[in-house]
Amino acid sequence: MNKRQLLHSFLAASALSFGLVTAHAQAPTPIKFQLDWRFEGPAALFLHPAAKGYFKEAGLDVAIDAGNGSGGTVTRVASGAYDMGFADLAALMEFHANNPDSPNKPVAVMMVYNNTPASVMTLKKSGITKPADLAGKKLGAPVFDAGRRAFPIFAKANNVGAVNWTAMDPTLRETMLIRGDIDAITGFTFTSLLNLEARGAKAADIVVLPYPDYGVKLYGNVIIASPKLIKENPAAVKAFLSAFAKGAKEVLANPAVAIESVKKRDGIIDSALETRRLKLAIDTVINSPDARAEGFGAVNAGRLSLMASQVSDAFNTKTRVSPDAVWTAALLPPAAELNILKK
């Protein structure tokens, strides 16, 4: 081999080596993400930035799976099966307080639902128009329903007398109310309200008692991350939250377009219905007066402490909830990136 051939061989090898190093350095960080529920309207908050490539641009390879309840999401992130997730803050608090020795308790890193979506819903024919009317009535909800779990807080705030509970599968909740098997239900407003309409109830005949309107200032869903990921790769968590905020801004600005990303993941959804569901979520718990006052993504320390105390009492946890243990603001994007709420 002459000098020229040797030089070419050396340059080719160097280029190949450099290419491999560069490719390795730029390999996206895999993130397994679990939603709290099925691929419905609010899932657009995560599926839209994924579809637009915002996570990929941030150097992440994000896989988003549907869920079956916040409790399951918290448990799966704690087990290491998922790196991050979307779950009700009360469920996260309960896990912390009931598993004080768990080595991998997830941490909330961004507030999304500034107010709990929980409400009591009934039909006008029940005669229930205010919380006090619920005393002695038969209420129904799955045992893990966020509204049912937090009902003691709602009852205390409104001096509601004892009620009788009936448990059922989530798919039967609204049907049993329509049939008259129960007097009222608890559930997320943007879920049960539309489910009641889908089962033949007229909007004018549905009575909704939202928890936030009746003295219950619980926070709702948050983005959670495993402490392992936070410790080993905080940059990945920061990148995820920045990409999420970028996508969420577009979702809030144009829900109908964002729903198409949900349709791509579940082709049988009713786009018009899920757009309504998403808009309800935006108006009631995302772009709420409390959210605009506190700032998207953030929490109020006093309100967080109060919620920790209320959850400890209502859920009868093994230990008291520590607000500092369940929440960190250290990984939030800059204020300019979180300025996504319309006035």
* Mean pLDDT value across residues 316-341: 97
Q: Looking at the predicted structure, is the pLDDT value of residue 34 above 60? A: yes
* Mean pLDDT value across residues 296-325: 97
- How sure is the predictor about 49, in pLDDT bands with cuts at 50, 70 and 90? very high
Q: What is the pLDDT of residue 162?
A: 96
Q: What is the pLDDT of residue 9?
A: 55
* Residue position matching structure tokens 């049993």: 176
Q: What is the pLDDT of residue 63?
A: 98
- Specify the range with the lowest mean pLDDT, choosing from 7-11, 23-27, 146-150: 7-11
Q: Looking at the predicted structure, is the pLDDT value of residue 221 above 90? A: yes
Question: Residues 6 or more apart from 283 whose CB is under 8 A from it?
Answer: none
- Specify the range with the lowest mean pLDDT, choosing from 3-12, 169-178, 322-331: 3-12
Alpha helix stretches (DSSP H) within the chain: 3-25, 44-51, 54-57, 70-79, 89-98, 146-149, 151-157, 173-179, 189-198, 227-232, 234-253, 255-265, 271-281, 289-294, 301-314, 323-326
* Mean pLDDT value across residues 304-321: 96
Reading the block at residue 78, the tokens are: 């704690």
- How sure is the predictor about 342, in pLDDT bands with cuts at 50, 70 and 90? confident
Q: Looking at the predicted structure, is the pLDDT value of residue 13 above 70? A: no
Q: Please state the pTM of the whole predicted model.
A: 0.90
* Mean pLDDT value across residues 22-26: 49
- How sure is the predictor about 21, in pLDDT bands with cuts at 50, 70 and 90? very low
- Give the model confidence (pLDDT) of 180-206 as tens digits: 999 999 999 999 999 999 999 999 999
Collapsing DSSP to helix, strand or coil, 209 comes out as strand
* Mean pLDDT value across residues 11-32: 61
Q: What is the pLDDT of residue 15?
A: 47
* Mean pLDDT value across residues 132-149: 95
Residue 322 has a CB neighbour count (10 Å cut-off) of 15
User: ∠ at Cα 222 (117, 187), nearest 5°?
Assistant: 25
- Specify the range with the lowest mean pLDDT, choosing from 4-18, 51-65, 94-108: 4-18
Q: What is the pLDDT of residue 25?
A: 53
Domains of the chain: 30-115+219-326 (3.40.190.10), 118-214 (3.40.190.10)
Nearest partner of 207 among 150, 128, 138, judged by Cα? 128
- How sure is the predictor about 2, in pLDDT bands with cuts at 50, 70 and 90? low
Q: What is the pLDDT of residue 343?
A: 76
Q: What is the pLDDT of residue 24?
A: 43
Q: How many residues does the chain have?
A: 343
Nearest partner of 328 among 224, 258, 209, judged by Cα? 224
* Mean pLDDT value across residues 235-242: 98
* Mean pLDDT value across residues 138-155: 95
Q: Looking at the predicted structure, is the pLDDT value of residue 17 above 70? A: no
Q: How far apart are CA 72 and CA 279, in angstroms?
A: 26
